[in-house]
Amino acid sequence: MNSKKLLLCILFVALLWGIALLDASAAEPEATSHFTKIRSLLHPALGNPIVALMLIVGLGLLLGRITIAGVSLGASGVIFVAIAFGAMHCEIPKTAGTFGLILFVYCIGITAGPNFFRAFVAQGADLAKLGAVIVVLGAGTTSLFIWLAEIPADLAVGAFAGAMTSTPALAAAMDALNNTPTVSIGYGIAYPFGVIGVVLFVQVLPRLLRKNLNTEAQESDSRVSKGCTVKRVLVEIMNPALAGKKVAESVIINNSRCQVPRVLVDERFVPITAETRFELGQCILLVGEDDRLPEVIEALGKQVQKTFNAGMETERRKVVVTSKNVVGKDLRELNLLPQFGVTISRIVRNDVTFVPHAETVIGRADILTTIGDPQGLEKFSSFAGHRARVLDETDLISLTFGVTAGILLGMVPIGIEGVGSFKLGSSGGPLLVGLLLGHFGKIGFVRGQIPRAARMLLSEIGLVFFLAGAGVKAGGRFFEVLQEQGPILLVAGAAITAIPMVVGYLLARKLFKLSLLESLGGVCGSMTSTPGLGAITNKTDSDIPVTSYATAYPVALILMTVCAQIIVSFFS
């Protein structure tokens, strides 16, 4: 962003907070008069609810872009601007916050669904457990402050959401408390502790332990494939031991993260078949991750520096996996080349691209880049799921029916013997429906897939509208509540951040036997702290923290919303 524009944004936001502070503390008639004059100048814009909403969102997102020592507020900048607007008694459309909440949590469910339930039984089960433990520790610490320090439950649960940097938890708490504005006040006070605390922890801890993260990465035996760059190279076969052997049966290829989708025939690259064999002097197209390519090239022959065209679109197709015929099976078991004459050259999973090997297990919603003849590609597309192009289109009918089902589910009373009844509400209902649709892919005629770009847009719009609504409601009492409670809210915010983080790290190392990089990534995911993950990745090129974060994150994200509602039900 242009530095002058950024400076103007900072000055304008500072002016808003100055006006809000003046309004909150104005005791003298003269001060009140000055405030009234300033506010009257802004009234033509701020008096229109829609204009006020757009200004809050725009200024909040600009504020969120400000980076200090690698840390920024992101979308949460909206709530701080909204509090200032609320303190000036500005109004936005009454249903904007509720509508935003529903859209946001539904998209969260769709995004987390494919991995949430699977995380408990996959190889990352320990990281999923770590996420659950840290969230429970945060909820327990919050409960202690409610009990011992007598902090009101609404403020405390807001501090829980802020300290854990969890907007979904804030949404769930506000929905459970009928949009009580003090929840947002607790969130706004504790949020800086959650952001800065995790960043400092992951940067300072390795120094205290005298550990070099790059050395730790080299010594780790748990390295995974995500995060590498996928490249295509042209290789000339020069190894006599390969001559006459079938490409599909090559041990060198099957045991690496590389694939041979095409071979050069008469100056044209054509898809390989089950009968394609290596020949000396033959040129093949090798697709692989950059860390594995050198050793595979050396085993095959030599790399050829030549411009090439990988082939026509009719010989390549992206397929989104939804069929039980494919989900949960590895490539060796599927044996696609003899069956369909196709090769999978790449897989996109959770927005990460990697090259599969024979033991790679295909998951639901994986996007497969398949190469073969048109007839084989058509058969495999029907066998595995859908063409990716189908899912590039947003199914508005599925979206509306899914959201409606979530709202209606949230209105249904659920009775528990000995406890009473409760409702999932506007956050829990859409979240649960989103999770189920994301996991199963389709229920009846309602599809759970939303294209990534559309999903991100809907989620972002929903989030900023919800934060704007929450902040405006909180602004009227923000300074009053802060004066009433004193420093105990600051202590609570710091404790709810620090205790789960430190205890969770110790459990990760001692109980779950995770490596340092896995533990740090897992802690960031469990605290839903993207800035914390960024601080780690700035110190090492290893992909271990990223994959650990990705495993713990969806579990923590969902459990925080559940814990927020439990805290409310017990203490309010």
Q: What is the 3 state secondary structure string of 166-224?
A: CHHHHHHHHHHCCCCCHHHHHHHHHHHHHHHHHHHHHHHHHHHCCCCHHHHHHHCCCCC
* Range of weakest confidence among 374-378, 520-524, 535-539: 535-539
DSSP state of 315: G
| The overall pTM is greater than 0.85 | no
pLDDT digits (tens, 9 = 90+) for 478-517: 667 777 777 888 889 899 999 999 999 999 999 888 888 8
Q: If you average pLDDT over every residue of the chain, what do you get?
A: 76
Secondary structure of 503-568 in the HEC alphabet? HHHHHHHHCCCCCHHHHHHHHHHHCCCHHHHHHHHCCCCCCHHHHHHHHHHHHHHHHHHHHHHHHH
Range 291-304 average pLDDT: 83
Per the model's pLDDT, the better-predicted residue between 526 and 415 turns out to be 526
Predicted confidence (pLDDT) at residue 434 exceeds the cutoff of 50: yes
What is the sign, positive or negative, of the torsion defined by CA atoms of 98, 158, 424, 445? Answer: positive
What mean pLDDT do residues 302-324 have? 69
Determine the pLDDT at residue 170.
81
Q: Rounded to whole angstroms, how far apart are CA atoms 185 and 72?
A: 19
> How many other β-carbons are positioned within 10 Å of the β-carbon of residue 406?
25
Q: Residue 321: pLDDT above 80?
A: yes
d(CA 276, CA 240): 16
For the segment 275-284, the average pLDDT, to the nearest whole number, is: 86
Lowest average pLDDT, out of 52-56, 110-114, 388-392, 428-432, goes to 388-392
pLDDT at 313: 43
